[in-house]
Chain A
Amino acid sequence: MTEITASSPATFVRPAQTRRDIGIKKRYRAEKRFRVYGVAAILTGLFFLFVLLWTVVSNGYTAFLQTTISLPIEFSEKVIDPKNERADNPAKLMTANYPLLVRDALVKALNIDPANRALVKQATDMVSASARTQLRDIVVANPSVIGTTQTVSLLAEGNIDSANKGQIDLTVAEANRKVKDKQIEWMKMLSESGSLTKSFNTGLFTYGASSRPEAAGIGVAALGSLYMMLIVLVLALPIGVCASIYLEEFAPKNRLTDLIEVNINNLAAVPSIVYGLLGLAVFINFAGMPRSAALVGGLVLTLMTLPTIIIATRAALKAVPPSIRSAALGLGASKMQTIFHHVLPLAMPGVLTGTIIGLAHALGETAPLLLIGMVAFVVDYPGSPMEPSTALPVQIYMWANEAERAFVERTSGAIIILLVFLVIMNLGAILLRRRFERRW
């Protein structure tokens, strides 16, 4: 070593070094520039993500609170069942004039002259029209309340709720405002007496569709989405995994399988609305399945998710080292045994991740569901996947079209819920991957 360095002449080194210096500086600059571009790209992405989340959360967090008004309701027999015929005619309790009970209670609580119709109207407008069904349900469930006075927590009307959350501009002239001065005065009064309160909005999670924002919730949509996810999981996972195993391990490599492979890859990129058209044509028009049903939605989403699952599964199968296959085959395992004892278990993390990502994709899909009639006003919970229902993203889409201020926060609130579901599913994918991942 020492001999070589000592004997190498300085004149030989210099030109080589000057030439190399130019290249190195340029390369360092290029590398630095590229890093700056990368950081800038990531920061831009993070900025927009932050703006999105900030908008959604700042608009939506109030949706999880709901203003209620607790009133002592006198379940007067004179109003509900004046002729005392409920024993023979249970329908009587269903059709009784429950709003009158609310009106009487408000008149009493706010000290209004019952003869002043305009004022009484303003007062009753403060309570949601859903109070009728709320009181009816109380009476039907327990007829013995008739004749007693119970404190009932009634939903405040949407605009009152918005005003209570400070979302209505009170500087606007009264005539152009949804909430009148007198109502604001009463709100203050009720608030001081502790009967007007904000509490956690469980209704957002349990109610179905309603044109009154205070009584609208994602319950029906969530159940519809759950049905569809179950259908997708039950159909797409086994079909997708079987198809991938066949294509990857058994199918001969020829033009036909190449064509199938290209088509599967292309299907993953087909706009989802096309799947909606397909579902409409095949499942509804041809097979005669019911419209708006979660079953059809699930089938359409299954078709949409299949390519994702197949591509992920094939990639996972391909990633299993061939030495494991050789080991099993060399021991005399059949092809089936090799795949099911060794290859598939090793590919499982990839399969599960692909499946969950496909499911998350399907959960957030709206367009194909619009075409098969799932954009519907569904009030009652669907008892089975054959009954009409909606889906979470469709519910968001429908609420986004509504005019009332209270629907704005509900739209964002539903988006938050959907995002939480998606985050949970992706976390699940990561955990499963960690849990099943094995070294080889």
Chain B
Amino acid sequence: MNMMSEAAVEKALDQKMNSVPYKMIGKDVSVYYGEKRALFDVNLNVRENTVTALIGPSGCGKSTFLRTLNRMNDTIDNCRVTGKITLDEDDIYDPNIDVVELRARVGMVFQKPNPFPKSIYDNVTYGPKIHGLARTKAEFDQIVELSLQKAGLWNEVKDRLHEPGTGLSGGQQQRLCIARAVAVSPEVILMDEPCSALDPIATAKVEELIHELRANYTIVIVTHSMQQAARVSQRTAMFHLGNLVEENDTDKMFTNPDDQRTQDYIMGRFG
């Protein structure tokens, strides 16, 4: 596949964006931390096999919204979520939904690379182990190889799978975390500023990886870098003070946004 055709495919995909079905639908999502309200009736939908970037100034609620998508907010004591979020057809805040199963379907990569202080192999197999995705050593070996290949890490670590994951460089650790998330075959991957702790080269590698993962996964990424949002995403959502300001195709967002505040933020006038 040469560069031209790839770009053409890309373009075609982007143009068809409006016909891509929704993977997750957020309707009137509000989040409260105790008395404080952090999100105000956000209506934001995530399209299948699309990278959706969430941008906005610090404290605007983009990470909070991301964390409602796999119920990581549950772990915060006084956090309360109202509204409705569906994954395919399932209401993820339905009492009958098992949060363990939800997080197997909606994986997460964090801001700071956080591999377990175990071997690279054990890091990748932990998810499949607790979800019972594999039984024999051969099956686990296969999952490890496949996941690390998808995360672009296989060639770098295939000879030292049993060395500690914490011994890798920052960028490698982050890709290990992506491999770990991919290993449980999620449908959606949430990324909370995955490159903010990485140098530009490692960032480029992770961005390239996000680009490749898009073929098989739906990705939602929170980022502080406008350039990154422009580079990796097809859809962008702009948050401000707990409100969703605008959600649009990335190209349009960065060239001709509908909302003045988006324009101001992208131009660096506030934030």
Do A439 and B166 have beta carbons less than 8 Å apart? yes
B110's partner among A253, A323, A334, A438 (CB-CB below 8 A) is A323
Q: How far is the CB of A125 from chain B (nearest CB, A)?
A: 69
Q: Which residues of A contact B72 (CB under 8 A)?
A: 326, 329-330
Residues of chain A contacted by B181 (CB below 8 angstroms): 330-331
The total of chain A residues at the interface (CB under 8 A) is 22
Most buried by A among B70, B107, B126: B126
- Distance in Å: Cβ of A295 to nearest Cβ of chain B: 41
Indicate whether A432 reaches chain B with its CB closer than 8 angstroms.
no
Whether the pair B116, A342 counts as a contact (CB closer than 8 A) is yes
Q: How far is the CA of A27 from the CA of B166 in the complex (A)?
A: 42
Q: How far is the CB of B124 from chain A (nearest CB, A)?
A: 11
- CB of A324 within 8 A of CB of B114, answer yes
Q: Known contacts A331-B127, A438-B117; is A326 also within 8 Å of B110 by CB?
A: yes
Q: Is the interface of A mostly helix, strand, loop or mixed?
A: helix
The answer to whether residues A332 and B104 also contact, given A252-B77, A327-B177 and a CB cut-off of 8 A, is: yes
Q: A327-B177, A439-B166 are in contact. Are A333 and B108 (CB under 8 A)?
A: no
> Which residues of the other chain, B, contact A333 by a CB distance below 8 angstroms?
100, 126, 130
| Contacting pair A440 B117 (CB below 8 A) | yes
Residue of A325, A332, A438 near B131 (CB, 8 A) is A332
In the bound complex, residues from chain A placing their C-beta under 8 Å from that of B108 are 326, 330
A133 sits at the interface (CB 8 A): no
**Docked pose: A103 CA to B131 CA in angstroms:** 83
Asked if B100 contacts A332 (CB within 8 A), the reply is yes
Residue of B nearest to A439 (CB): B166
How far is A341 from B131 in the complex, measured between Cα atoms in Å?
A: 14
Bound together, the chains give a CA A428 to CA B28 distance in angstroms of: 58
B18 contacts chain A at the CB level, 8 A cutoff: no
B212 contacts partner chain A, Cβ-Cβ < 8 Å: no
Question: What is the 8 Å Cβ interface bit string for chain B, positions 153-167, against chain A (1 contact, 0 not)?
Answer: 000000000001010
Known A-B contacts A252-B77, A253-B77; A332 and B117 likewise in contact (beta carbons under 8 Å): no
What's the count of A-B pairs with C-beta under 8 Å? 67
Q: Could you tell me the distance between the alpha carbons of A378 and B240 in the complex, rounded to whole angstroms?
A: 78
Any chain B CB within 8 A of the CB of A127? Answer: no
A332 touches B110 (CB 8 A): no
Give residues of chain B (97-129) contacting chain A, Cβ–Cβ below 8 Å. 99-104, 107-108, 110, 112, 114-117, 126-127
B62 at the interface (CB under 8 A from A): no
CA distance A370 to B208 in the complex (A): 72
Q: Does B5 contact A (CB under 8 A)?
A: no
Closest residue to A252 on the B side, CB-wise? Answer: B77
Q: Which of A325, A334, A439 contacts B117 (CB 8 A)?
A: A439
Is B227 positioned at the interface, with any CB of A under 8 Å from its CB?
no
Given contacts A324-B114, A330-B107, A333-B130, 20 further A-B contacts (CB under 8 A): A252-B77, A323-B110, A323-B114, A324-B116, A325-B75, A326-B72, A326-B110, A326-B114, A327-B110, A327-B180, A329-B72, A330-B110, A330-B181, A331-B104, A331-B107, A331-B127, A332-B100, A332-B103, A332-B127, A333-B126
Which B residues lie at the A interface, using CB under 8 A? 70, 72, 75, 77, 99-104, 107-108, 110, 112, 114-117, 126-127, 130-131, 164, 166, 177, 180-181, 184
Return 22 A-B CB contacts under 8 Å, by A number: A253-B77, A321-B114, A323-B110, A323-B112, A326-B72, A326-B75, A326-B108, A326-B114, A327-B114, A327-B116, A327-B180, A328-B116, A330-B70, A331-B103, A331-B126, A331-B130, A331-B180, A332-B101, A332-B102, A332-B104, A332-B127, A333-B130
